[in-house]
Amino acid sequence: MFRENTAHNQISLCESFNWMNKRIQEKLKKSWAPIYYEHVFCKIDEKPFAVLYSDVGRPNFPVNISLSLEFIKHFLNLSDDELIDNFYFNYLVNYAVGIRVLGELNLAKRTIYEFRDRIYKYTLAHPDQDDLIFGQFVKLIKGFAEIAGISMKEQRMDSTMFMSNIKKAGRLSLAFDVLIKSVKVIPKGILPKQLEETLQPEFKTKILFKTKASETESTLDHILSLCQEARDTLKSISTPQVEEALRIISRFISEQAELDENTNKLRAKNSKEISASSLQSVHDEDATFRNKNGKSQSGYVANITETCDKNNPVQLITDYAVAPNIKSDVDFIKERISIIKENTNCEKVTVDGGYYCEDPTGNVEDVEVNFTDMTGRCPSDKISVTDFELDEKNEIIITCPNGTKPIHAGYKNGQSVAHFPTEACKHCEHRDRCPAKPQKKSFVLRFSSKTITAAIQRNKINANRTENISSRAGIEGTNSALKRRHRMDKLQVRGKVKCNVVVGLKVIAQNIRRFVNYMLGRVKVKNLVLQG
């Protein structure tokens, strides 16, 4: 049964703080705990979490304490055992979560696990409902920004890949894992003898450790034939465990194998034919494969956005999103720009060339997107469309670089078309580089809307390259801090839902760290515009 926790608002005569030496009291007041209590713990809205609990039964363990402990775990980089110990014996942690008498409240490790499990299951069952963690994230950044005077008008965005709790496995190892998962759920009474042998330790040793490089293909074909037999056996059984195993092994076979018409048996596909969205781990069906900048990884990608106004005393992360790592940066910016605008009233976003597209903002008004580079081929040595005088609004050519006006010009079927006098074009000094083509009565010039947009954007990038690169560079440090300090490079959970929740907690922890440093005066103010 859900019940809000307001006990921290009541003063107790037995508070441990009252019995402390005055010097120790002063040190506590200057620590992170009072800041956390006032600006994080007291700002947590428990009501949205009521959906995690039934209407009957014992009252829940306080949500604001449970959620705060999750934040503190990532804020202090603690394991679950260390978190429990700190909750019992660290008065700073107790003070931060509204407990004033050390050892007053008991906390079982199971309570922590069950709270996480409730969030995971609710998020999985209600994908269209508001994200509980993201809702608290938005509430906190608004409070931090107001207190620290942080402008959220200018922001920057970048993505970074990370792994879930899976191993880097080759095709043979993956095939073995899929096979064993399926065989283990088949009842012994109907388990074929050939499949029963796969559960023996020597089978694993033979397949994974004694297979020579020259034998890999034939061994993989053998495993696939066993997978086919396991799949056929599973089809005759109907239990929840079997349904999961059947789904995974059927997916694996369809992605990794093809039927040999001559032998009527499965054989492994060429590795180049395997999709990046194929199964990467038997334990994580959402993870995908991606090769980015020469680095290949199986897992997910996090898209991070943060403020970047030079006058801000500290920058805050304003948005995050998690997806399988095959999701492109272009899809991220198109999906997140409206959410960022709604939550922070952002007016300008700076991104790298990976996010480039013709219309990154969609129907979102008053948001300017600046790119540090562009994807695609470099322009040829032909005269660019921007060398022509152009009515950019209507995409109509007014004059050519030589000053010649077209006989007539207009925009039709996604193209800007201009007809120039034949005599003027024949004797033009730019003839060799001009993209205009001769016809019977005139020279015709055609530029697609996409070409015009790209050329204008390229000129804008070149004109503001130094400023945009300088503005965007800081987010590389943010991604590095999330991976290095908060261990986001490889999470201890699997699946997109759990990864999204954990990334959210780590992002919140990073914002709390920055805000606490600001409140404690640990932030450099050299970039601030000081007013006398």
At 35 the pLDDT is 97
Closest CA to 318 of 513, 482, 477, 142: 142
Lowest mean pLDDT among 6-20, 119-133, 481-495: 6-20
Number of residues in the chain: 532
CA distances from 149 to 231, 258, 357, 426 (A): 60, 61, 33, 62
Residue 400's contacts (CB-CB under 8 Å, 6 or more residues apart) are 388, 389, 406, 420, 428, 430, 434, 436, 445
Lowest mean pLDDT among 251-255, 328-332, 375-379, 406-410: 375-379
User: pLDDT tens across 296-306, in order?
Assistant: 889 999 999 99
The pTM of this model reads: 0.86
At 247 the pLDDT is 94
Closest CA to 310 of 508, 155, 461: 155
Q: Could you tell me the residue ranges of all domains in the chain?
A: 7-129, 131-164+302-384+423-492+500-532, 171-273
At 13 the pLDDT is 76
CB atoms within 10 A of CB 506: 26
Residue 129's contacts (CB-CB under 8 Å, 6 or more residues apart) are 122
At 253 the pLDDT is 95
Band (160; pLDDT cuts 50, 70, 90): very high
At 529 the pLDDT is 41
Q: What is the DSSP letter of 22?
A: H
State yes or no: pLDDT of 451 exceeds 90. Answer: no
Q: Mean pLDDT, the chain, as a whole number?
A: 90
**Is residue 302 a contact partner of residue 321, using CB atoms and an 8 Å limit?**
yes
Phi, psi of 273 (to 5 degrees): -90, -5
At 392 the pLDDT is 80
35 vs 380, residue with greater confidence? 35
State yes or no: pLDDT of 532 exceeds 60. Answer: no
Please provide the DSSP assignment of 498-510 as one string: HHHHHHHHHHHHH
At 374 the pLDDT is 66
Q: What percent of the chain has pLDDT over 90?
A: 65
In angstroms, the CA 347 to CA 318 distance is 13
In angstroms, the CA 338 to CA 344 distance is 10
3-state helix, strand, coil in the chain (%, to 5): 50, 15, 35
User: pLDDT tens across 192-218, in order?
Assistant: 999 999 999 999 999 989 888 888 899
At 57 the pLDDT is 86
**Alpha-helical regions (H) of 76-215:** 80-89, 91-96, 109-125, 132-148, 171-184, 193-196, 201-204
**Is residue 185 a contact partner of residue 234, using CB atoms and an 8 Å limit?**
yes
In angstroms, the CA 496 to CA 500 distance is 6
